[in-house]
Each structure stands twice: as C-alpha cells, then as structure tokens.
Homo-oligomer: A and B are copies of this chain.
Amino acid sequence: MARIVQKYGGTSVGDVDRIKIVAARIKATRDEGNEVVVVLSARAGVTNELIARAKGLCANPSERELDQLLAIGEQESIALMAMALHGIGVPAVSYTGAQAGIFTDTEHTKAKIKMVDPTPVLGDLTQGTIVIVAGFQGIDDEGQITTLGRGGSDLTAVALAAAIKADRCEIYTDVDGVYTADPRVVKSARKLSEISYDEMLELASAGSKVMQSRSVEFAKKYGVVFEVRSSFNHNPGTLVKEEVAYMEQVVVRGIAADKDQAKVVVSDIPDKPGSAARVFRALADAGVIVDMIVQNVGRHGVANLTFTVPHADTARAVRALEPVLVGIGGGQVAVHERIAKLSVVGVGMKTHSGVAAALFQALADVGINIDLISTSEIKISVAVALDRADEAVRAVHAAFGLDKV
C-alpha cells in the first residue's frame, strides 16, 4: 500500500467523458490498495472564458476579484470528479483549497503557499476515501480566496504530497514524460526514465513546457519525488528526483528550445559604474523578466548591453528603458524579434569539460551562427536565428548522442 498524489490538468477534465476516464484510472489506483489524493485543474478553456467575461466588465479587474472568479473553475472540476467516482461506487470527497488546508499569503493571483494543514485530507484517507483537491487555489489568514498563479495546480500537488508524506506524486499532463528534446522537432528524441530536480529546473527555464520551475523547486526543497506522465495512456513517465550517482555518467540529459524570446540591444551607453544596474533596475521595476545577458565594451568608452526578454514584454521593456537612457546620458535601444534560445542541460557537465566546445562545433557544422551565449553550472544556452532553431536542436541532439540509449 502506498499513499499517492495524482494531479490531472485541464484537458484531463475537459468534458464528461474525459472525467469518467480519469475517474476509472483513479479507481484502479485505489483498487491496488493505495490511498489516493487527486489534485485537479479547471477544465481547459474555462479560465480564459472567465477572464474574457471579466475584461468585458472592467479593463483592469481587481486581483482579489479575479481570484474569487477563477477559483470556481477548479471547484467545478473537483465536485464533478467526486460525483464521477460516486457513480462507479468509490467513496470520494471534494475539497476547495481552503477546505484542504492550503494556506497562502495575501498576494492575489500569485500567492505563495505558507502552510499546508494535512489534517482534513489525512482524516479522509485513513477511512479509505479518495480526496479530490482543487489545485491552483488557497486561502489567506483573513479567509480570502487566493490563487497561486501559473503552474499552481502542480504546486498544490507537490505541496500536498510533502504535507501528507506521500510515497509518490504523479503529475499527469498531455505529454507522457520528459524527453531529450521536443519529439515534434526531433524524431529520435527519447523519453527519460528519470531526471534530477536541477536538470528539470534548467529545462523548465529553458523553455521546455512540461512544468513550471516553482513546483520543481518546491519538490526539490521538500524532497518530493514526482513522476511526469500522460493521462491518455499507461506508459511509464519520467521520475524527477534528487541527483543519483549513475546520473553523472550522462553529460547532457536533454535539449530545450525557447522560441518565445526577443533580443534587446542597448548600445552606445556611457561605460561607467552603475549604468548596467540602472538599466536592469528599470526593467525589474517594470516587471520584465530578463534572461540571457551579455555586455561588451566598445570603442570610445561606450558599452553595449544585450539581453533576451519574453516576446510579450518587449514593448514594456522599451518603454522602461527610454527614460533610463536619458538619465545615464545616451544610448539606443533596438529589438530583434526573430531569435530562439537553445539550451543543453545535464548534471554531468559539472565534471566534464568540452561540452561548450562540442555544442558550438555541432552548430558550426550545419552553418548556424551563434548570437549570444550564457551558461550555468549544468546548462549552456545559445541564441540562434529563429528560422533555424529546429535544425539546431536536431543537430545538437545527434552530436551528443541523445538518440542512443
């Protein structure tokens, strides 16, 4: 007998038929003698519908009221799933975030989990009842409904798994695991049977859309081993866990491409202390997420700063920078939209040299130019032309032998 948390996303509860299929899967898990907690998202599309209705009433809806509104999406999912389980004779109870003891701070639309009280969930589990919890939501100290922001349902699942000391946490998505590269781009991409938290984090931040970083960080912090797998089949997924010894034999674990980046070049700014700080302070204040950063000093004591930002943030970035450039006495801003960021990730890099060289060589061999380079302990990222990104991923995937077991 094991205690298992299963999280199902919006497509898994998209309609009555899908709910029945998932209910049958949950029942099967219980029939094997396990205690089961299920975390659900809102059905696909409902959040966007609600936001559209909200925007029709108020250009800039209050975040408290948005939370009050959006929380109903998961509440619908959990009640329907409990009914579906009752319909096949399985005892089940649904809990909103508040009822499940998910306590957060008061930051509406992006609340952080402060504490999970496992008491209500544990009480039902010991009686053989399946507990269905609304993902993405919690309650603050004053009884206000909060939501956790993007990837919130995964976070609910991982946090609950930690709080109830679950043996397993299964994250069901529409992909059946973590691949060495996007299988739609690289035909020979392989599913990884396991991956370390750090590699998963680097892949997440490198544009692999399987999971948001924050849930992986939470899992790492509390040692929650979780498995990413598909609710559309019964294939084993990818286990995400602490790095283990034999992992180090693999130098590069996977490759991710992020096509949602634009390059911003701030050129000809006076090369004096504090210029760069003022540039990035202004971007941070405007809520722009900056990724790769490169600085080089040009002639005549002027410097160039180059960095990447998400596409959606480019206009905001430019608006934020204009007054800064006036303040520091010069400089121009230019935006280059058509780039992609390619990243190779692997804990083995820490102890192996030559990964960067092999990466650059692989790209050179197919004539792809490298625009920017940035590195972390277990990742190397390069910016390349957007229209050659897929080709670049395939070339690098082959060069590192990722298509071989």
Chain A residues close to B by CB (< 8 Å): 16, 19-20, 23, 50, 53-54, 56-59, 61-62, 64-66, 68-69, 71-72, 75-76, 78-80, 82-84, 86-87, 93-94, 96, 98-99, 143-145
Contact = CB atoms under 8 A, between A and B. Distances in A.
Main secondary structure of the interface of A (DSSP, over half): helix
**Most B CB within 10 A of own CB, among A50, A75, A83:** A83
A60 to B, nearest CB: 8
A79 B68 contact: yes
A232 to B, nearest CB: 19
B64 A83 contact: no
Contacts of A87: 57-59
Contacts of A65: 79, 82-83, 86, 93-94
A361 B247 CA distance: 98
A143 to B, nearest CB: 6
B99 A83 contact: no
Please tell me how many copies of the chain the complex holds.
Answer: 2
B86 A61 contact: yes
Contacts of A84: 57-58
Contacts of A53: 16, 80
A98 B143 contact: yes
B99 A57 contact: no
Given A68-B79, A69-B76, A98-B143, 19 more contacts: A16-B56, A16-B57, A54-B83, A57-B80, A57-B83, A58-B83, A58-B86, A58-B87, A61-B83, A62-B86, A64-B93, A65-B79, A65-B82, A68-B75, A68-B78, A68-B82, A69-B79, A72-B75, A99-B144
A19 B57 contact: yes
Contact of A62 (B23, B50, B78, B83): B83
A143 B62 contact: no
A75 B80 contact: no
A75 B54 CA distance: 13
Contacts of A57: 16, 19-20, 23, 80, 83-84, 87
